[in-house]
Amino acid sequence: MDQSTLIKQREIRFRGPHHHGDQSTGAAVFLGNLPGVLKAERQDAWCLVVHYDVQHICLRVIRRHLQLAGFHLDASLLVKMKLALIEYAEQNQRELLGLENCPLPTRPYQVSVDQVTTQSHKLRPPAIPERSDDPWRHYH
C-alpha cells in the first residue's frame, strides 16, 4: 500500500464549556506525545487536526485517549455518522494490511517525565523568582 494512504489527517471537534477553557491547544500538546500521532495542530478553540499513521494507531483510539484525559469531545449526530464511516474504513484498511484491530485503552495515557519537561519549556517561559519583599505576593 502507498505510504500516503497510511497517513491520515482528521479533524477532532470539541464541545464546551470546559474548565480548562481552550481544549484544542491542550489536546494538541497531549496528542503530540501519543505514539503513532505524527502531528496535532490547533485550528480554533473547538477543533484540532491530527495526523497519524494508521499502522500504529486509529482515530477511535486517539479519541478514547482524549476522553480518558478529560477532554469533552463533540458527540453530535453528524460527528457520530462521520466517525462510524471513518472507523469502518480504518478497520478494513488495517485488516488488508494484516494488522489486528486497534485495542481501546482502559486508562489514561501517561506522558513520560522527559516529554513533560520538553513540552513545559515550549508552552511557557521559565518563571520569574518571587521576591520576598513584594507586597503583592499574597494576591497571586
Query: Which residue did the predictor score with more confidence, 102 or 83?
Result: 83
Calpha distance 57→50 (Å, rounded): 12
Beta-carbon contacts of 108 under 8 Å, excluding residues fewer than 6 positions away, are 65, 68, 69
Secondary structure letter of residue 98 according to DSSP = T
**59 and 102 Cβ atoms separated by less than 8 Å:** no
Place of cell 478497520: 91
What does the mean pLDDT of the chain come to?
82
Q: What CATH code is assigned to 3-108?
A: 3.30.70.100
Task: Encode pLDDT of 83-94 as tens digits.
Answer: 999 999 999 999
Q: What's the average model confidence in pLDDT over 57-72? A: 93
| Whole-number Cα distances in Å, 113 to 69, 71, 117, 133 | 17, 21, 6, 34
